[in-house]
Amino acid sequence: MSVSNWYNRSLNKIWGFVEDRTAMKRWALRPQPEFSFKPSYWTGAFVAVALVYQVISGALLLLYYQPSTNPTLTACGQTVGSASTAPAAWCSTFYIIHSVPMGELLLSSHLYGAYAMLFLLFLHFFRGYYVGVYKSPREFSWMVGTLLMVVTLGMGFTGYLLPYTQLAYNATNVGVVLALRLPTFGPLLGPLILSDGTGQGLLSRMFDAHVVLLPLALAGLFYAHLSLFESHGIAPPATSDPLQRRRFTDREEKEHVPFIPHIFFYTLKWALLYLGVLFGIAALWPWTLPTYVGNTAAVGVVTEPDWYFLWLFKLVDFQGVTPVIAIGASSAILVYILFLPFLDRSKRTHPRDRPVFIFLGTALLEFFILMTVWGGETPGVQILPVLIAETLGPPFAVTALAVGLFHWRYRASYRRRLAARQSQTFAGPYPPAASPSAHPTPTATEVPGSE
C-alpha cells in the first residue's frame, strides 16, 4: 500500500470514528447548496471568524490590562523614567507590549483584527445590499445584521479609549459631546457615559461597555442572526425573475452538502488564511502606543478617531453642520439601512432591476470612502459649502448617470427580446426555435416594470 493510500485510509478511519461517536452531521447548522462554495456566499462567516479571534485575543489581554487612571509606579514605572506617573491603563498596555511574551503580537493583532472585522463587516453589508439578500423572507436577518453593525462600531468606539492615550481621549470626548448634544436622549445618556465626570468614570464606563455590555448584546444578536440564517438557508443568486423562490424545497435540502465536514472545512481554510495574514501584518508592522493622557509632551496632539469614524468627524467639520445635524444625518442613514427591506418592495433581486436603490447604496459607499480619506488628510479643518459641493457632487452625478444609462439600456434590450419572442410565437404553426442566445428569453413577468 502506498504512503498516500495509507494516509487517506487512516484519516477516513479517524474521521469515521469521530462522526460515529459525535453524530456531528446532525449538529446544528443546516446543509448548504453546492453553489455556495464561493467566498462571496460566506462573507458573514468571515466576519464571524474575525469576531471569534477578537474574543480570544481580548480575553488574553484582560489578563494584564488594568482599567484604572491611577498613577502607577509598577509595570512601566521602571522602564520609562518620565512615565512613572502614567495612568495604570496606559502602563499596563505598555507592559503588555514590552514585557509580556508575544504581548506585542497579541495587542497588535487584536487592534488590526478589529479593523479587519469592520472591513469584512462592510464587505458583508455591501455584498448583501447589492445582491438584495434583504428581500423576503430575510428582512429580519437584515435588520438584526444592522444592529450587529451598530454594536460592532460601539465595540470599536469603546475599545479606542482603553489604552488611555491622549489621542484616543480627545477623540472619545468629541464622540461623547456628539452624543450629549442629541435632543432628548443626550441628557439621558450623559450620566450613563460620563459616570461621575472624571477620567476614571469615563474609562470605567467604556471598559464595562467594551468587555461586558456590548459583548452580551453582540452574543444575543449573533445568536438571532445565525438562527434566522438556519431558518432560511443561504440566499440563492440574485435574479430578475420576480417569481423565483428564495426558499429551498425539502427535496433540494436533501441534495445539499452537510455543513460538517464540507462547509466547515471550507470556511476553516479561509479562517486559517485570515489568521496567517493578520499575524503576518501584526508581526511586520506592530502597533506603536501613542503617549498617555496628561503627559505634558502631549500638548498639541491632533484629535483623530480610528478610520471607521473619520467620516463622522469630517461631517462635523462642514461649515454649518452642528453636532445635532451630524447625529441627525447619521441616524437618518441608519434608519434607511434598517428599514431598507420595507422600502425596496420589488420582488426582483438583481441589481439591474433596482436602479434607485443601487444608486443610493453606491452614493453611500462613495460618501463613506471620500469622507474617510478627507477626514484622514485634513482632520479638524473646516470645509466651506462650495468645496463640499465640488467634492461630493461630481461622483454622485456620475453614479446617477451611469446607473440610469445602464438601466435604460437593459430595459430596452429586454423589451426587444420579448417582442421578438412574441412575434415568433404568432408567426406560424411551428413551435419557436430555441433561442441561440446564452441568456434566457424573458417571460412577460420578467420584463422590468411589468409588476
Q: Which residues bind ligand HEM (CB under 6 A)?
A: 42-45, 47-48, 51, 121, 124-125, 128, 133-134, 138, 141-142, 145-146, 148-149, 152, 222, 225, 229, 234-235
Grid cell for residue 349: 433581486
Residue closer to ligand HEM (CB basis): 149 or 403: 149
Residue closer to ligand HEM (CB basis): 65 or 134: 134
Q: Nearest approach, Cβ of 37 to ligand HEM (angstroms)?
A: 12
Residue closer to ligand HEM (CB basis): 91 or 358: 358
Q: Nearest approach, Cβ of 157 to ligand HEM (angstroms)?
A: 15
Q: Nearest approach, Cβ of 197 to ligand HEM (angstroms)?
A: 32
Beta bridge partners of 32: 257
Residue closer to ligand HEM (CB basis): 234 or 315: 234
Instruction: Please name the residues in contact with 240: beta carbons below 8 A apart, sequence gap of 6 or more.
Output: 348, 350, 352, 353, 442, 446, 448
Q: Nearest approach, Cβ of 359 to ligand HEM (angstroms)?
A: 18
Residue closer to ligand HEM (CB basis): 138 or 417: 138
Q: Nearest approach, Cβ of 174 to ligand HEM (angstroms)?
A: 25
Q: Nearest approach, Cβ of 237 to ligand HEM (angstroms)?
A: 10
The Cα–Cα gap between 193 and 195 comes to: 6
Q: Quick one: which H or E segment has residue 291?
A: none
Task: Determine the angle formed by the axes of helices 199-208 and 185-194, rounding to 10 degrees.
Answer: 100
Residue closer to ligand HEM (CB basis): 267 or 295: 267
Return the amino acid letter for 33: P
Per-residue DSSP letters for 125-179? Answer: HHHHHHHTTTSTT-HHHHHHHHHHHHHHHHHHHHHHHTT-BHHHHHHHHHHHHHH
Q: Nearest approach, Cβ of 141 to ligand HEM (angstroms)?
A: 4
Q: How far apart are the first and last CA of the chain?
A: 64
Residue closer to ligand HEM (CB basis): 138 or 314: 138
- Do the beta carbons of residue 49 and residue 270 sit within 8 Å? yes
Q: Judging by beta carbons within 10 Å of its beta carbon (0-12, 13-18, 19+), is residue 123 exposed, middle or buried? A: middle
The Cα–Cα gap between 206 and 160 comes to: 9
Phi-psi region of 380 (alpha: psi -120 to 50; beta: other; left: phi over 0): left
Grid cell for residue 264: 466547515
Q: Nearest approach, Cβ of 142 to ligand HEM (angstroms)?
A: 4
The Cα–Cα gap between 101 and 98 comes to: 8
Residue closer to ligand HEM (CB basis): 225 or 407: 225
